[in-house]
Chains A and B, each alone.
Chain A
Amino acid sequence: MRHLLRSPAGLAGTTLVTIMVILAIIGPPIWGAEAERINPSAILQGVSDAHPLGTDNLGRDILARVMVAGRLSLLLALLTTLIGAVIGTVLGALPSVLPRRGARVVTGTVNALVAFPGLLLAMFTAVVAGLGAKGAVLGIGVAIAPGFARLTQTLAASVAGADYVSAARMLGVPRMRVMTRHVLPNIAEPLILNLTQALGSALLALAGMSFLGLGVQPPSFDWGRLLFEGFSRIYDTPAVALGPAVAVALAGIGFNLLGDALARAAARTTTPAKAAPVPAARQEIEEPDPEAVLEVRDLTVTFPGGVTPVRGLSLTVAPGEIVGLVGESGSGKSLTSSAIGGLVPYPGKVTTGRLRLCGVDLAELPEQERRKLLGTSLAMVFQDPMASLNPALRVGGQLAEVATVHQGASREKAWERAVDRLDHVHIPEPERRARQHPHELSGGMRQRVVIAMGLMGTPRLIIADEPTTALDVTVQRQILRLLRQVTAETGAATLFISHDIAVVGELCDRVVVMYAGRVVEELPVDQLVTGAAHPYTRALVASLPDMDTDRSLPLASIPGRQPAPAEVGAGCAFAPRCALASDRCAELPPLIPYGKAHSVACWEAQ
């Protein structure tokens, strides 16, 4: 609701619709008598103080009639929309319920009706059903039904493929019940939103019918009828036609705006607003490490609404070192890497105590130089290689572009280097592959291309975010080897992000474990199996089945789930799942040294 009122369109729509509804309720009791009062001495008057919109041919006050006509106009529009929606939803849902042949007939009919001009359909039905309000309502209702049917059909088809629908079919749930319990409730929301907009259109269409004399007949009157009666006088007293016209327009616009805003508000996923504040910059930051390729201190990423997925994270990576960043999904791994690369999407906000790349403080660099530094010394590899490749360009050309843009190489030289780099990442027949498009390569080969792209320059830092998650184990192994080789020969620092602690354990030198946006433990990889001190790290290692796990014992597991970024409290975020938790854990445990090259954030580290 708050979202609805925040946008100008939403606010305007809500206000207009509210006014129209109030008018429909209070209009007739207040102005009803006046609207009907015939006054032979005031026939066909123009604008005056007594009659701001003039009078009609029986001397009735037109303003009062406009105020009163709102109720009938809205009620008829509502009725019309309901008729259209019911016919449309049934028609749209039928194909999912009927046997194949029946379904095809219904779908064909709907398609034909959608193509048929709505106005003709409405007039035809209205004429058949008889002149007057009934005919108009039925006519317009029938005319908007095909649109609803099409919408229902499309929405239902998207839900019909869902796993829960397959599951219900497998359980033998009858078709009709699948429709009413699984499909319709899940498409109700967009349908209802569409209804609001349809109401606006129905209102306009009904006014149109009345205006053509096909709608409401005297002595009843709606806005369209008033417009019809006023129209002949529009040249001498425009106000008599303007009043009802403005009313129709405002109501129509109001419903359309509201429907639009509702749809937009529904598309937005609401996030809970409560959250514990992130403690601002903690202790004094120590001297910068001159050796480190990457040094991050107190990195925090926040999104509006108190969503803080990364909370005061610190990290150092040395040249030639592969550091693994592990944690379950949602722990903030990818946002950390985006923040380092300056890629956090709007409206995310990044704050750091320090962010140094190759000994240069990124915060102190002007925008242009920062980009240049990131462009030449940072290579990023993502889970989906297609995110880094342009599907329309040959891979060789994409690689060569890096050299021509950043290093000012000539085109031939750049192409040569591209082929050389493809060869370097063990792509067979590099000359031929360079001339191919990304879609002609397998997933593993595309990932190699992305790595080769990073090697066009001389990267100082390689950030690989789940680079093998989409790949098969055998291909994964080759890519891991390649990363190790590249790190060794370039002396670059590599930050390897993964949810798979086994992969990290095999590839990396050092492991940084994240939980709910914070680093909870940092340790050399050879200590992972036996020397981990944080209860979360220990549980992660214990819960992972590997090729030597004792099959006669149950696996360890961690009850509960990681808190969402907006739910993280002030104390240790792991406390609700921790067997060792005590009162002390209501206070945030600092990340403190725990033996050589090992630090832990836990009061009970053991």
Chain B
Amino acid sequence: MIIKNLTVRFGAFTAVDDVTLEIPQGAIVGLVGESGSGKSTLAKAVTGLVRYTGEISGADTRRIQMVFQNPYASLNPRMTVGASVAEGLRLPRADRAAEVERLLSLVSLPGAVAQRYPRELSGGMRQRVAIARALGARPELLVADEITSALDVSVQGSVLNLVRSLREELGLSMLFISHNLAVVRYVSDVVAVMHQGRLVETGPTEEVVDAPRHDYTRSLLEAVPRLGRVS
């Protein structure tokens, strides 16, 4: 999928400024930047939730799905997990249960979870359910906006592992948004750095992380807290 000259304005304020970005088939593109840099607005533009100018080509925009930041707000508390996951399915009723089970197993959840309600699940499990629901629509692109930032470190790992295995097993393309550079580095093939609405640097993960070209990228990298590095 190719995003070309995408701009989003709120009145006089330009939240996303002339962004051009390619998300290759089967790749995870990581988008980093500070709060207010326009990451979420770009995500919303790509999923059609805000108006934008510019062009998105190479993907059916109706087949773009999004996973949200807060797993406690993204599942209907009154619906069972199975019912939530089944919502996006375009299948005859009889085949749905089997498909729900398949989707849950894709995100490494036991089929029995389908009968449970969101409140009975941990944040990490809910986030898996939200991913399973999005996968049910057979997306061409999955937009993940800060999907681990509401999770504790102890469960973040399993969600990140899942993200990577989905790419490997399903060849899923993904726009993975996070303010956490270590997380983005771990899952992404390509890293794009956003600053004040513009993309300041884009490149293969190793290159951006090991040999940043832009000053802003360098200051971001420098600021990442590191275990055992006593300042």
Contact = CB atoms under 8 A, between A and B. Distances in A.
Interface of A: 162-164, 166-168, 170-173, 181-182, 185-186, 328-329, 472-474, 476-477, 480-481, 484, 499-503, 505-507, 525-526, 528-529, 536, 539-549, 551, 554-562
A294 B228 CA distance: 25
Contacts of A547: 181-182, 185, 209, 221, 224, 226
Given A163-B73, A548-B226, A555-B160, 19 more contacts: A162-B73, A163-B74, A164-B84, A171-B87, A172-B137, A328-B154, A329-B152, A472-B35, A476-B223, A476-B225, A481-B231, A539-B154, A542-B157, A543-B154, A544-B227, A545-B186, A547-B224, A558-B155, A562-B154
Interface string B126-164: 000010011011000000000000001111111011001
A239 B206 CA distance: 92
Contacts of A182: 76, 79
Contact of B34 (A163, A166, A181, A473): A473
A472 B149 CA distance: 13
A503 B186 contact: no
Nearest to B36: A472
A558 B225 CA distance: 22
Count chain B CB atoms within 10 A of each CB in A502, A542, A560 and give the residue with the most. A502
B52 interface: no
Contacts of B79: 181-182, 185
22 contacts: A163-B74, A167-B66, A171-B87, A172-B88, A185-B78, A185-B79, A186-B77, A186-B78, A328-B153, A502-B226, A505-B229, A506-B226, A539-B154, A543-B156, A545-B160, A547-B224, A554-B161, A557-B124, A557-B155, A558-B155, A559-B158, A562-B154
A557 B154 contact: yes
B47 interface: yes
Contacts of A555: 156-158, 160-161, 186
Given A545-B185, A560-B122, A500 B153 contact: yes
A260 B75 CA distance: 29
Contacts of B182: 502, 544-547, 549
A597 B44 CA distance: 50
B219 A474 contact: yes
A164 B75 contact: yes
B65 to A, nearest CB: 6
B70 interface: yes
A181 B226 CA distance: 46
Contacts of A506: 225-227, 229-231
Contacts, number: 174
B198 interface: no
Interface in B14-73: 34-35, 47, 49, 62, 64-66, 68, 70, 73
A171 B73 contact: no
A170 B47 contact: yes
Interface string B203-231: 00100010000000001111111111111
B34 A499 contact: no
Contact of A557 (B157, B221, B227): B157
Contacts of B134: 167, 171
Given A543-B157, A546-B226, A484 B231 contact: yes
Given A164-B76, A172-B137, A474-B34, A499 B153 contact: yes
A543 B68 contact: no
B161 to A, nearest CB: 5
B183 interface: yes
Contacts of A558: 154-155, 157
A473 B227 contact: no
A500 B154 CA distance: 11
A473 B154 contact: no
Contacts of A541: 227
A166 B154 contact: no
A528 B221 CA distance: 22
A473 B224 CA distance: 6
Contacts of B122: 560-561
Contacts of A536: 154
A528 B227 CA distance: 8
Contact of A168 (B47, B87, B154, B183): B87
A166 B152 CA distance: 24
A557 B185 contact: no
A511 to B, nearest CB: 10
B35 A544 contact: no
A547 B226 CA distance: 8
B228 A473 contact: no
A481 B223 CA distance: 11
Given A473-B181, A506-B225, A173 B47 contact: no
Nearest to B84: A164
Count chain B CB atoms within 10 A of each CB in A162, A476, A540 and give the residue with the most. A162
Contacts of A556: 157
A171 B161 contact: no
A486 to B, nearest CB: 14
Nearest to B185: A547
A167 B183 CA distance: 24
Contacts of A502: 182, 225-227
B112 to A, nearest CB: 15
A525 B231 CA distance: 12
A507 B133 CA distance: 40
Given A472-B35, A560-B122, A505 B227 contact: yes
B76 A540 contact: no
A499 B224 contact: no
